[in-house]
Amino acid sequence: MEQVRNYRKAGVAGSFYSRDKLILERELSMLLESAPVLELPRPIRAIVAPHAGYLYSGGVAARAYGQLLNSSYRRVIILAASHEESFPFCSIYSGLGYNTPLGEVPIDEIFTEKLTNFSLQIQLSETGHTQVEHAIEVQLPFLQLCLRKFSLIPIMMGEQSMNLIEALVEAVVKIVPAEGTLIVASTDLSHGHSDHKARLLDQVAVEAINQFDEKLLWREIQEKQTEMCGYGPVIASIKIAKKMGAREAKVLMYRHSGDISGNNDEVVGYLSAIMV
């Protein structure tokens, strides 16, 4: 019997962001209106955005998403690292798509099939796309408001080894055209440190991204000079963006949870960036 495919239900609506469509649209619009729009020399090939609750990281994410308003990307590849389970492959959601209070986002069936046929390390699966996994879902309302209509390739990395990063990069570069494609790397920065310690750790990541240097970022992660829950997606996005013609990256905003809550004893860091 053939398995019934469905749209993944929004798992963190009502906690990470509003489940009410009108309230969510209003909150997103306010966040995006506060983001200065930059004059850019080339098309944006990739962005980095945080994935915490919008109260804490929405303003940071909006700095990157604000550059996408009225853009004409036809497909979006969201790269995230699994928080809930470990598995030795990249998982593309096997359902019809993702659902949010703003509506359904369909899977890009054509390129999803091509990617999974190209590499055994990329599989169609529900693994990593559970209701409690938020790293992909929280990016979608921003994309829905900024781009309106697009297809989705949601890729969850079950591990962040260089072997898997390189397999993912090779597949995307060879299979998916740069034209009409946006890469979104979903990550937060350091977790659970004091304000001072967090800023020291996070500044290392900011500098590596601003230098557009994935080798430096990998080395700093391995040497524990910085922290990112989604360093694999960020490194992959830099590699892919370079292959798609990007020449530089720019971090648009950094802050941590203590800047919002006032609790600076244990904070989570956030940044947003673009690659052009």
Looking at the chain, the whole-number percentage of residues with pLDDT higher than 90 is 97
pLDDT at 217 over 80: yes
pLDDT (0 to 100) of residue 189: 99
Cβ 84 vs Cβ 128: under 8 Å: yes
Q: In the predicted model, what is the mean pLDDT of residues 86-104?
A: 98
| Rounded average pLDDT over 51-75 | 97
Tens digits of residue pLDDT in 120-133: 999 999 999 999 99
pLDDT score, position 148: 85
Tell me the CA end-to-end span of the chain in Å, nearest whole number.
47
CB 85 within 8 A of CB 70: no
Determine the pLDDT at residue 254.
Answer: 99
Show the domains of the chain with their CATH numbers: 16-275 (3.40.830.10)
Is the pLDDT reported for residue 1 higher than 80?
Answer: no
Say how many C-beta atoms besides its own lie within 10 A of residue 109's C-beta. Answer: 12
Which two tokens mark 59?
């303003």
Distance CA 130, CA 6 (A): 13
Order the strands of the 103-106 sheet from edge to edge: 7-8, 97-100, 103-106
Q: Which residues contact 66 (CB under 8 A, 6 or more apart)?
A: 32, 35, 36, 37, 146
- The per-residue pLDDT for range 134-170, each reduced to its tens digit, is 999 999 999 999 998 999 999 999 999 999 999 999 9
Q: How far apart are CA 276 and CA 267, in angstroms?
A: 30
The model's confidence at residue 4, banded by pLDDT at 50, 70 and 90, is confident
Q: Which pLDDT score, from 0 to 100, does residue 2 have?
A: 59
Whole-number Å distance between alpha carbons of 133 and 202:
23
Q: Which residue has the tokens 């350091």?
A: 190
